[in-house]
Structure 1
Amino acid sequence: MRIAIAFDCFFPLSTGGGERLYRLLAESFARHGHEVTYLTRQQWTGPAPSVPGVRVRAVSGRTGLYDEHGNRRLLPALRFAAGLVRYLARHRGSHDVVLVSALPVLNVFAVRLALAGSRTLVCADFLEVWRREQWLEYSGPVVGRVAATLQRWAARVSPLVSCHSRLHAERLVADGTPNAPLVSPGLIHGAVLGPANEAAAEPPTVVYVGRHIPDKQVDAIPAAVAWARTQIPTLRAVVLGDGGQRRAVQAEVDRLGLTEDVTLPGFVEQEELDRHLAAAACLVNPSRREGYGLVVVEAAAHGTPVVLVDAPDNAAVELVEDGVNGVVATSLAPEVLGAALVRVVLAGPTMRSTTRAWYERAVRERTVEVTAERLLAAFAESRRR
């Protein structure tokens, strides 16, 4: 098949779970012998990135996606959608399938418009499906209502939809998608790593990995660590990443007198990130919104358990088996989140062993490769019908 993937970010020029997913799917489709084109936003200077078996094409120019609060800006989304219409209208008949990310949702309508009346199959892939209240909070009363309506109609007009958690599959059904969503089995990439650390490094350290934006609730970590230190006085924390909430996190660290015990190194290279995850007593991720939670799996590969926070929009909790590969705290309250940290840290080698065993099971069943194979089978079946 001739397959196009449409997403306005390209890994590693921009990083995140979605970026990695679509890059890996493109490479997997190519390995299966399909002709793959990756349609994205211009993020490079000089020639387009070289990916074996994949043509990378820019359909819109260089532009920043996020505002100062870490929210996506509307203008880049409009430009990318317009670029998709122009490109696909010029190349009607050149693709058998277009897998289009519904983030932002305008992409779905752009692809459907450009390919209206053609025989090209369109699969809308939903990294997340937001509640109406989320849209209103994120984009305001006017744009939020429009976005919520467009999301609902994108689900309804797409004959084939895919997503990556039970939470978002249920929301797609509620939004009226005409066919059952294809739910991916997982997003793990690569084989099991070398031997995991049987014990965490000393002193015990909890690690956060990700952007510092309101949805991640990173500023709750210092108070939770302060509470946990009443039980484990040597406990430390490393808060990786950056973003608009970094100042709030640093202010909490200063307020609680933790400047010697909580560090904020910013973003780090993959090799250093792996070292932090391998040495950590646990990963803490208090996010209230996750489409999948790939960092949970990345930590588990090292035998490092996780502490998450239960929230209506946090699909990552689906990956946690209580007491096996981590704990889900019931709230952000310092004594609740802190107690969850204490439980995991004190479990020590026992939970590290069960976490690694969880990963070794998952890596056989929840991989991007399996997801790609299921998508390819769905594409072929839909085209036959």
Structure 2
Amino acid sequence: MRVAVAFDCFYPLSTGGGERQYRLFAETFVGEGAQVDYLTRRQWSGPAPVLDGVDVVAVSGPSELYDEHGGRRLLPAVRYAAGLFSHLVRARRRYDVLVVSALPVLNVFAARLALLGTRTRICADFLEVWRPEQWVEYSGPVVGRVACALQGLAVRVSPWVSCHSQMNARRLVAAGARRPPVVSPGLIHQVPEQDPGLEQRQPATVLYVGRHIPDKQVEVLPAAVAWARERVPGLRAVVLGEGQTTTRVAAEVARWGLQEVVDLPGFVSQERLDALLRDAAVLVNPSRREGYGLVVVEACATGTPVVLVDGVDNASVELVEEGVNGFVAAGVEPEVLGAAIVAAVEGGTALRASTRAWFEAVAPQRTVRVAATALLDRLRAPEPASGR
């Protein structure tokens, strides 16, 4: 079987949950006996990256994906979709299966058109499915409505669709998916074998991991930490990452007089990130939009409980069992988010133990490799036509 994975980023040349997911998909397909091509844009100079069993193929040239506001730029998306279309036209009979990322959605149309009339089984993988209101807020009233319409059309023209949360599965069904979506059981990258140690380190530290963009709402953290410090003296915070709202985050730190309490180191090495996840008293992610929430399970793997914020677009709350591996705050107000932080810190060793136990219970069947294998099994199994 010949399988292609199409995504315009390649890990570790660019980092993120999607990048790691699709690389692991490709590696898992190889482990299942498939020959695999990874179709991406050029992010390297010289020879293509070497990946055992996977041919990494550049179908478009280098480009800057994001604008100064952290949004995806249109031109690189068009260039990649055009390059993907051209490659697939030349290789129309090459692939038995194509897993194409629907981020951006133009990829789906390029693949569907190029392979029309072939026997290639195409699955559009949706990292997220946005509501119309999200598209309008993100792209404006005109472009946003067009993008929303294209998203719906991409769902309907895809023979198979997959996603990574029940929230997005419901949205795919509502958008007119031809078949029931393939919903991955989880996206855990690996199950740590070492006991992380469950004693809470001192001083107790709040940790944030992620980009600084409006949807992440990172700027609400200083006020919540200030509120929590009135109940937990000595509480500190480390806010990792950077982005367009970093200046607002720093301004809030200064406004609450927390310059000696909150560290803003930017991005750090994987080794440093692993240590911070292990040593934190609680991981706090106030994001209002998450397609899955990989950092939640990464924290739980170390016994670190999490605090999330409830929201109609936040699929990561599906990963939290209240009081078992963390808490879901009803809002981002200092007293609401701060109270959830206090509850997690005061949970101490008992909460850390139940968090690690939760992870050990769910991890074996919630890995990326399990998800990739289930997807490949679905795509290569005989299935009747949808009738549409």
Query: 1:381 maps to which residue?
Result: 381
Give yes or no for the alignment of 1:150 onto 2:150.
yes
Deviations 1:310-357 (A, max 9, x none): 011000000000000000000000000000000000000000000000
Whole-Å separation in 2 of the counterparts to 1:118 and 1:146: 29
Whole-Å separation in 2 of the counterparts to 1:354 and 1:167: 26
Contact kept in structure 2, 1:121 and 1:383, CA below 8 Å? no
Query: 2:108 maps to which residue?
Result: 108
Give yes or no for the alignment of 1:87 onto 2:87.
yes
Whole-Å separation in 2 of the counterparts to 1:363 and 1:22: 19
Whole-Å separation in 2 of the counterparts to 1:87 and 1:8: 13
Query: 1:72 maps to which residue?
Result: 72
Give yes or no for the alignment of 1:351 onto 2:351.
yes
Deviations 1:91-122 (A, max 9, x none): 11011111000010110000001111111111
Give yes or no for the alignment of 1:243 onto 2:218.
no
Contact kept in structure 2, 1:7 and 1:40, CA below 8 Å? yes
Contact kept in structure 2, 1:193 and 1:302, CA below 8 Å? no
Deviations 1:149-205 (A, max 9, x none): 011011111111110000000000110111110100011122333112212211100
What's the TM-score, normalizing by structure 1? 0.99
Query: 1:120 maps to which residue?
Result: 120
Query: 1:22 maps to which residue?
Result: 22
Whole-Å separation in 2 of the counterparts to 1:209 and 1:367: 20
Give yes or no for the alignment of 1:212 onto 2:218.
no
Give yes or no for the alignment of 1:371 onto 2:371.
yes
Residue identity in the other structure for 1:81: A
Whole-Å separation in 2 of the counterparts to 1:118 and 1:180: 22
Give yes or no for the alignment of 1:276 onto 2:276.
yes
Identity %: 64
Whole-Å separation in 1 of the counterparts to 2:27 and 2:38: 10
Whole-Å separation in 1 of the counterparts to 2:34 and 2:41: 23
Query: 2:312 maps to which residue?
Result: 312
Whole-Å separation in 2 of the counterparts to 1:373 and 1:66: 32
Provide runs of 4+ in structure 1 moved above 4 Å.
382-385
Deviations 1:239-274 (A, max 9, x none): 001111100000000111000000100000100000
SS of the residue 2:272 aligns to: helix
SS of the residue 2:381 aligns to: helix
Residue identity in the other structure for 2:205: T
How far the C-alpha of 1:382 sits from its partner, in A, is 4.7
**RMSD of Structure 2 on Structure 1 (CA):** 1.0
Contact kept in structure 2, 1:324 and 1:355, CA below 8 Å? yes
Aligned length: 385
Residue identity in the other structure for 1:335: E
Whole-Å separation in 2 of the counterparts to 1:16 and 1:215: 16
Contact kept in structure 1, 2:191 and 2:301, CA below 8 Å? no
How far the C-alpha of 1:137 sits from its partner, in A, is 0.6
Of the structure 1 ranges 241-250 and 373-382, higher mean CA displacement relative to structure 2 is found in 373-382
